[in-house]
Amino acid sequence: MKTHLLFLLFALFAAAPALVAADRLTITVANDLAIARPSETIAVPWKQVNAALPGALLQKIAVKDAAGRVLPYQVTNVAPEAKDPKGVGIAYGDLIFQHDFAAGERSATFTVEKIDGVAPVFPTKVSARYVPERLDDFAWENDKIGHRTYGPALAAPSPPGVKKEVLVTSGLDVWCKRVSYPIVDRWYNKGHDHYHKDEGEGMDMYQVGPSRGCGGTGIWDGHELHVSGNYVAWKVIANGPIRAVFELSYNTWMANGRLVSEVKRFTVDAGHNFDRIESTFTVVGGGEVTVGIGLNKTPADKGQEAKITLYPVQASGSLTQWVEQSRNENLATAVIVPVGFAGFAEDNRNQLVLAKATSGEALRYYAGAAWSRAGEFTTAQSWNDYVAACVLRINSPLKVTLSP
């Protein structure tokens, strides 16, 4: 009897650390680069969190850094329509949070813990939404820059007796911000004319028209770019506070004798001037295509002089554009193609970065912009340095390990 009791006590004592560990998960993140990596997004599959913390609820956890500070976090969906009736995490994608790696900081440690109360509502730094009040625009932003693109209502002809703007384009627009808080809703609510003037928050001064804008795509046949029309369907998958993910779909178009359609998935993270874009082209008959990713040759405000300098870097698959404007200061754009880069080209509207894509497989690239009046990138060199640092970060992803 005594022996049995001692064995039971020993078993309980041995199990005690495991019981404690079941309420806490340790995440170690390794960084191979010596440069600073601000606003680095760390993603952990929710299934792994759920396995380490059985019964953890999305709104009843705390993510803490090594100093014990509570960090904003987000859990993304696998799909908006997904269900999880047993609460085992099958409907969810990643637990994500961010960390500013200082120069020379090669690792960082975080914990995820169950809490009794409800986690606070964290400030939203990213957003993406359909804008029916402005002819089916779709707009997105983070704390650095804003964008929009154009839907079916804008492409539709004006009804008889109605004056309506008509624009057929799949180009991507830029909204220049000089504040870190969200502005998309505020600007749309102010009315069309207001957001073409800088009233202290920034402005829409970028010209798109039928060009590719900042990062739009087409199929390149060696001489001509074949492009789609306006997007025809949208889907928001995640919407802040740290990351927004959404998809835009485009109807089939004819590209040099081949029928092609496209779905773009955008990943927009807080603290970054670049969006990650994954374009999946479906080609009737299959096979490979050459994609042209464009930067508008004439992006400056109408009626003003502009000096444009290009910085193509073949080794990194990047093209940056620095636009010195006679008013409204300087505008910067760039495209990065980390895999599949196939050279540079141009047509009458766009400077192009070329990439090889296979039907049905996602082509990943990055497109971004900045405005000198925001104060972060005031020279072409500062923008080029940022682009080069982004290339390094893309090519050296963080390594995440989990432990009790």
Domains of the chain and any CATH numbers: 23-118 (2.60.40.1180), 127-395 (2.70.98)
Which stretches within 74-191 are classed as H helix?
A: 152-155, 184-190
Tokens 């964290």 belong to residue: 122
Residue 69 has which token pair?
């500070």
DSSP 213: B
Is residue 149 within 8 Å of residue 229, measured between CB atoms?
no
- Amino acid identity, position 52: A
* Closest by Cα among 235, 134, 136, 225 to 187: 134
Q: How far is CA 1 from CA 5, 6, 7, 9, in A?
A: 6, 9, 10, 12
Is residue 352 within 8 Å of residue 220, measured between CB atoms?
yes
- Separation of alpha carbons 366 and 387, rounded Å: 10
- Global confidence as pTM: 0.92
210: Cβ contacts below 8 Å, ≥ 6 apart: 167, 168, 169, 171, 227, 349
Tokens 């078993």 belong to residue: 11
DSSP state string for 257-285: TEEEEEEEEEEEETT-SEEEEEEEEEETT
Is residue 402 within 8 Å of residue 346, measured between CB atoms?
no
pLDDT by residue for the chain (404 residues), tens digit each?
Answer: 444 433 333 343 343 333 344 589 999 999 999 999 999 999 999 989 989 999 888 999 999 999 999 999 999 987 766 777 776 667 789 999 999 999 999 999 999 999 999 999 999 999 999 999 999 999 999 999 999 999 999 999 988 888 889 999 999 999 999 999 999 999 998 766 678 889 999 999 999 999 999 999 999 999 999 999 999 999 999 999 999 999 999 999 999 999 999 999 999 999 999 999 999 999 999 999 999 999 999 999 888 889 999 999 999 999 999 999 998 999 999 999 999 999 999 999 999 999 999 999 999 999 999 999 999 999 999 999 999 999 999 999 999 999 98
Indicate the pairing of strand 70-71 with strand 146-149.
Answer: unpaired
* Per-residue pLDDT, 87: 67
In the chain, helix, strand, coil percent, each to 5? 15, 45, 40
Is residue 133 within 8 Å of residue 176, measured between CB atoms?
no
Q: Is the peptide bond before 241 cis (omega within 30 degrees of 0)?
A: yes
Q: How far is CA 344 from CA 292, 315, 320, 337, in A?
A: 9, 12, 12, 11
| Bridge partners of residue 70, in order along the sequence | 64
* Per-residue pLDDT, 191: 66
Tokens 């374009």 belong to residue: 279
Helix, strand or coil for residue 7?
helix
Q: How far is CA 89 from CA 75, 85, 86, 97, 373, in A?
A: 10, 9, 8, 18, 44
| Bridge partners of residue 308, in order along the sequence | 323
Helices (H) and strands (E) in the chain, counts: 5, 26
Report the 10 Å Cβ neighbour count for 403.
Answer: 10
